[in-house]
Amino acid sequence: MNILHVLSGDFVAGSETSTAAVIEQQIKKGHRVFIASGKFAHPTQARFFEVPIYNRGFFARVTNVFSLIQLIRREKIDIVHAHSRAASWVSHWACRLTRTAYLSTLHGRQHLHFSNRRFNVYGPKVIAVCENIREQMLEETGVFKPEQLVVIRNGITTKT
């Protein structure tokens, strides 16, 4: 599977560490993995493409959508996995325009506003890292059915 992870990359956060752990497993399993992000501090064998996802200006977002479209087509990406609100917005449009499978992980509670309360930009399946985030999305937005939101906790390699 050719997998593209999309992150904001504005600062080093737990979400980046968790994503790096998932990427490590995916590479071990033989998948081709790519990262599109402002930056990615963790050492990784995945191919990194610098895309300023953290830039939320309208024109920057449109440019980011086209950068992702180019990347999806060139690297024959099978599935896109977004890891932040900004990443989900950009990935949603890039995947719609390229008919690519897409899902998001919610690493924290979402700041909800008019659009993301009414339109699902997170994909048909969404991973919440804990129950509280899942409940927030079910209760405060009108766009999810319970089966679309799956709690998958952050994994950690326990064997040292």
Angle 53-105-88 from CA coordinates, rounded to 5°? 35
Per CB under 8 A, the list member of 130, 138, 141, 143 interacting with other proteins is 130
Site string (56-75) toward other proteins, x via CB under 8 A: --------------------
Per CB under 8 A, the list member of 73, 118, 119, 152 interacting with other proteins is 152
Least distance (Å) between residue 59 CB and other proteins: 26
Return all residues near 129 (Cβ < 8 A) that are at least 6 apart: 18, 105, 106, 107, 151, 152, 153, 154
Helix or strand (DSSP H, E) at 12: none
Amino acid at 159: K
Per CB under 8 A, the list member of 79, 112, 138, 143 interacting with other proteins is 79
Task: Answer yes or no whether residue 38 interacts with other proteins by CB under 8 A.
Answer: no
For 16, 55, 71, 118, the CA distances from 87, given in Å and listed in that order, are: 13, 10, 14, 18
Least distance (Å) between residue 45 CB and other proteins: 16
Return all residues near 87 (Cβ < 8 A) that are at least 6 apart: 6, 7, 8, 37, 53, 104
Least distance (Å) between residue 17 CB and other proteins: 5
By CB under 8 A, name the binding residues for other proteins: 1-3, 11-14, 17-18, 21-22, 25, 29, 76-79, 81, 99-103, 108-109, 123-125, 127, 129-133, 136, 150, 152-159
